[in-house]
A and B are shown apart, each in its own frame.
Chain A
């Protein structure tokens, strides 16, 4: 099977990058690899019980008792299946990919919100990135970065970044015009407008993007196991290779449980913390209001 001119072009482009910037890619690869390794080792060094207690407590704080119980059961189940090390490895990859997506995606999103033309270009680029089958990214990633965690993270970032860019742009665009007017009328600089008004008010939308990015990285990390990402994906992959239903199911279940925990926890950061405040302050507000009316 041979590719046409278009395919040749893509191939040449990747080869060009490989031939001319190999040094740069190697350095970047090493740096990224070190970060991911540090993350994995760091998370791996935490004993299971400590992690369990921390996550359950965190779940209790963010969502309440029911979800805390669920997190406890999910983690114990993963541990019981003997998949804890793999889960930690996957978690490390997801965290690394998400952080990189944010580092690249949020500024791009801000740029897109400020400039219509940039937004148009970004939009077509993001559509392309999102709809291109995820497997395709694995090929250039392997050529440029070899096998292992680094190309997995890179491929994941490319696949999972679009929501954070889109929702950052959307969030900033949705900040009410009169808030910007108020900001300007009090003499804000553009940077003050961004940091004090636009970003804080776009935060719920940005956090929704982060949530989606995490979910997409999780699905990509499994696919990326084909190029040596390790973790739960590798377990699933071995299930496929051996046609072992049991291994495949257990690995898959691990991914599902991790996904639910991450999703529900990050989701809570999208909603304003106002609701919790209102409950504590309502009594006071009521009494003072009465005094003034």
Chain B
């Protein structure tokens, strides 16, 4: 792996930190929301006749095209490490051929990893015996496929209960669970139909219900909605979010559609040539993309919706008034006029923002305390206020919108002009 790739520090464990991370996740086998439920460490898959030779070449820093030319081995997934938190939807994005579908199949060992670990709830899946692996697949992981992969000769109900059936559950019990799952995806009355009699969107609902029926700890969704037409895809994404609201599940979602990733993903991991090159929330990826590849993904996305006050504000250079709000207002009048600023931003000795004054308000307050000169109808926003809300506030008031940080200090101001400028700039990019 090339050393200059950047990772969000909490998402990817550097090689030196492996031991501590391992003991941590073993120490908490039960997943609590927010903790890591699935940890992938240095996972690699090399297809071809001599994976060991290719692995050596990878260590020497050769590119995957070069390795393929020399040895005929394909480095599909290269040293991927990531953590998935309980209850989050973790989206793995990448162009076709970037190794994302291979990666998700390494997680449940539909494809055997060449090296690395897949730790689910504290247990490494990679070295498991067939028997243990089968138990994990039956109880802990379920998969939804791009092509639906429903069994054409079985009814909807028998398809949904397949996972329970192979696990040896009695017919009446598994049907009961399957019916509940079917109802949750909104297809309650379809249980006796065959998959071929359903539309694509409905088939994938069945695929989803089949995975939900086994109540897995982690749900793997491999381009689950990519084969559907745009309207149905949108509907299914909303459906997934609705289900997620009902019951938080941990989902690893593979996608090549950035809009989809943004819509459903809490965090997105971007894959390129088998490597995971960046992990972060959509906003993080837009703000500081690791390279042009990441930036390119967002090229056609309307990123303005991710703009927040912190990236829109301008620092206040003129008109900063540090003083005592109890002191007479007129004392600060000359200072403000001299600065040439339209407004003055008043901070106390500790630097906490108190409010905004204008020459007029200072003049009006006269000898009364400065606090009475503070403009009353001016809203202040925090750093994480989004573009939508910010625009509304900026439009509704005469003056720039002051932005304060968590400590209450003035971070800067946002004007209608800067909002417009930023939005236009992002659009142009």
A contacts, CB < 8 Å to B: 176, 178-179, 181-189, 192, 196-197, 200-201, 203, 272, 274, 277-278, 281-282, 284-285, 288-289, 292
Docked-complex contact B151 and A187, CB < 8 angstroms:
no
Contacts of A176 in B (CB 8 A): 147, 149
Docked-complex contact A182 and B166, CB < 8 angstroms:
no
Smallest CB–CB gap between B225 and chain A, Å?
Answer: 16
Contacts of A277 in B (CB 8 A): 194, 197
Given A185-B137, A196-B166: A201 and B149 interface contact (C-beta under 8 Å): no
- Residue in B closest to A292 when the chains form the complex, CB atoms: B186
B contacts, CB < 8 Å to A: 105, 108, 110, 134-139, 141-143, 145, 147, 149-154, 162-163, 165-167, 186-187, 189-190, 192-194, 196-199, 202, 210, 214, 220
Contacts of B136 in A (CB 8 A): 187
Docked-complex contact B143 and A187, CB < 8 angstroms:
no
- Residue in A closest to B139 when the chains form the complex, CB atoms: A187
- Residue in A closest to B135 when the chains form the complex, CB atoms: A187
Given A200-B153, A201-B152: A185 and B193 interface contact (C-beta under 8 Å): no
Within the complex, which residue of B105, B142, B194, B199 is in contact with A186, where a contact is CB–CB below 8 Å?
A: B142
Within the complex, which residue of B105, B141, B192 is in contact with A281, where a contact is CB–CB below 8 Å?
A: B192
Contacts of B154 in A (CB 8 A): 200
CA A288 to CA B182, docked complex, whole Å:
14
Given A200-B153, A201-B151: A274 and B196 interface contact (C-beta under 8 Å): yes
Return the 8 tightest CB-CB contacts between A and B, nearest first.
Answer: A187-B138, A187-B137, A182-B149, A186-B163, A178-B149, A185-B143, A187-B134, A200-B153
Contacts of A285 in B (CB 8 A): 190, 193, 197-198
Docked-complex contact B193 and A281, CB < 8 angstroms:
yes
- Residue in B closest to A180 when the chains form the complex, CB atoms: B149
Contacts of B198 in A (CB 8 A): 285
Smallest CB–CB gap between B288 and chain A, Å?
Answer: 36
Contacts of A185 in B (CB 8 A): 108, 110, 137, 141-143, 220
Docked-complex contact A189 and B190, CB < 8 angstroms:
no
Docked-complex contact B135 and A182, CB < 8 angstroms:
no
CA A94 to CA B86, docked complex, whole Å:
62
Docked-complex contact B149 and A187, CB < 8 angstroms:
no
| 22 A-B pairs with C-beta separation under 8 A | A176-B149, A178-B145, A179-B149, A179-B151, A181-B145, A182-B143, A182-B149, A184-B137, A185-B108, A185-B110, A185-B141, A186-B162, A186-B163, A187-B138, A187-B167, A189-B134, A196-B162, A272-B152, A277-B197, A281-B193, A282-B197, A285-B190
Docked-complex contact B138 and A274, CB < 8 angstroms:
no
A178-B147, A185-B108, A187-B163 given; 19 more Cβ-contact pairs under 8 Å: A178-B145, A184-B110, A184-B137, A185-B137, A186-B142, A186-B162, A187-B134, A187-B136, A187-B139, A187-B166, A200-B151, A200-B154, A201-B152, A272-B152, A272-B153, A284-B189, A285-B190, A289-B199, A292-B186
- Residue in B closest to A277 when the chains form the complex, CB atoms: B194
CA A203 to CA B135, docked complex, whole Å:
29
Question: Max chain A CB contacts within 10 Å: which of B136, B153, B190?
Answer: B153
